[in-house]
Amino acid sequence: MGRAREAGVALGGLPTGTHNAITDVPGVLVGHETLHSGDAVRTGVTAVVPGPGSAFRDKFPAAVAVFNGFGKAAGLSQIAELGVLETPIVLTNTLAVGAAHEALVRHALAGHDEIGVSTGTVNPLVLECNDGWLNDIRALSVRPEHVARALAAAAPGPVTAGPVGAGTGMVCFGWKGGIGTASRLAAGFTIGALVLTNHGRPAELTIAGVSVGDTVRPEPARRAPEWTRGAGSCVVVLATDAPADARQLGRLARRAAVGLARGGSVMQHGSGEYAVAFATANRVPHAPAGPTRTTTVLAEDGPVFDALFTAVAEATAEAVVDSLFAGVPTAGARGHLIEALPVDRVLPLLRH
C-alpha cells in the first residue's frame, strides 16, 4: 500500500498540507474501526470529528451536495435546511446506517443532559456505500460499539488510507477501493478532503488526465457485474478553516463533482454521490445570546473562491486516486475477489 504522490503522481499544482490529509485542517480528527474476519466480514466504520469541544453546543457551518441521490444517508435534510453540523460524521456500509445513527445519538446524549429535556433532539450525520460484493452485508456486523471505537480512535496527523474502516469492503472502478484523503493550501486557507470510494466502471478510470481504463482493467472473470455497470457510491467529506458560511460551503461542496469527474466518474443511475462540507471557523452556538449574531465570512468577488474551488477539485481527485493506490487484493463473501490496482502497470502510462 502507498500513496500516489509518494509514487511521483501529483494531481494539480496547489501545495498540500503537512500530511496531505483532511486532518491538515486544524482540529479535524479521523478514526477507523475495521471489521475483517472469517470469509465474509469485510466492513467497518470511519469517523470524522470536525473539531474540539461539543459540536452540539457550538455547531459547525455546513452544507450538503447531492449529485446522484441513490443512497441511504441520514441527517442530510436538516443540514440542508439549517446549515449546521452538530455531530461527528460517520461513514459505514448501507445497512449499518441505523447502528451508526444510534451510536451518534448515544455519543451526544452522554455529554449533553439537556438533549430531549430542556432543548431539542440531535441530528446525527451518517453516510454510506454498499460493500455487499465483498462483505456479507446481511449479517449486520457493524454495531454501535464499533462506531464508538472509531470515535475514540479519532486522531490528528496522518490518516490511514485504503481498505480500512468504512473502506474495508469497497470497490472503485473495478479495483479495491476504500478510504482516500488529500489536502490543498489555497489563498491562505486549507481545504481537506476524505473520500469513501465505491464507484465507477473499469473502462472509465482516469488518472492525471490519462485514460488508464483503456489499457488496465481487472480480469473479466473477477469482475463483479455491478461494477461493470458502475453502480456503487462515493462520499466526499470536505473540511476547511476558511470562514465560509453555509451557502458558501454549498458552493465548495458542489465542486467536489469536478474532482470526481476528473477521475472518470459519470455518476451512474445506481451510484449515490454525496458531498458534505464544513468549516471550522465561526462556530454557531446552539443557544444564541440574542436575536442576532455577528460573524465574518469570505468575500466572493475576487480570486479567493476560485482558488478554493481549485483546491476542492484537486484534493477530491487525489483522494480518489489514493484510495486506489492504497488498495490490496481482497477476498470476501461468497468467494468474491477484488484485485488491487496494479500500480506497476499504471505508473508507466502516467509517465509516458
Q: pLDDT for 213-247, tens place per residue?
A: 999 998 864 555 555 566 789 999 999 999 999 99
Q: Are 326 and 2 in contact (CB under 8 A)?
A: yes
Which has the closest alpha carbon to 195: 211, 186, 204, 183? 183
Q: Determine which one of 141, 265, 271, 323 is catalytic.
A: 271
Annotated catalytic residue: which of 33, 86, 128, 233? 233
- What is the model's pLDDT at position 216? 94
Kindly state the DSSP code that residue 341 receives in the 8-state scheme.
P
Angle between helices 303-325 and 246-254 (to 10 degrees): 50
Residue 270 predicted with pLDDT over 90 = no
| Predicted pLDDT of residue 28 | 98
Q: Give 77-90 pLDDT, tens digit per residue.
A: 999 999 999 999 99
Active site residue 54: no
Is 114 a catalytic site residue? no
One of 33, 128, 273, 314 is an active-site residue; which one? 273
Position 2 scores a pLDDT of: 81
- pLDDT above 70 coverage of the chain, percent: 97
If you classify domain 5-30+57-85+159-285+299-351 with CATH, what class do you get?
A: alpha beta
Tell me the per-residue pLDDT of 126-145, one tens digit each, with 9 for 90 and over: 999 999 999 999 999 999 99
C-alpha angle 41/45/50, rounded to 5°? 175
pLDDT at 224: 55
Mark whether 145 is an active-site residue: no
Q: Quote the cell numbers at residue 179.
A: 478510504
Given a cut of 90, whether residue 312 has pLDDT beyond it is yes
Terminal CA-CA length for the chain: 23
Question: pTM here?
Answer: 0.96
Strand partners, 172: 175
For 142-161, what is each residue's pLDDT tens digit? 999 999 999 999 999 999 99
How far is the C-alpha of 161 from the C-alpha of 177, rounded, in Å? Answer: 10
The predicted pLDDT at position 79 comes to 98
Gap between the Cα atoms of 78 and 82, Å rounded: 6
Q: What is the pLDDT of residue 10?
A: 86
The domain limits of the chain are 5-30+57-85+159-285+299-351
Cα–Cα nearest to 104, from 131, 116, 86? 86
**Best CA proximity match to 65, nearest among 313, 261, 252, 240:** 252
pLDDT of residue 301: 87
**Which triple of cell numbers denotes residue 198?**
465505491
Query: What is the DSSP secondary structure assignment for residue 115, as one 8-state letter?
Result: B
Condensed to tens digits (0 to 9), the pLDDT of residues 163-174 reads: 999 999 999 999
Q: Which residue has the cell 496522518?
A: 158
User: Quick one: pLDDT at residue 227?
Assistant: 53
Q: CA geometry: angle at 10 spanning 302 and 305, to 5°?
A: 10
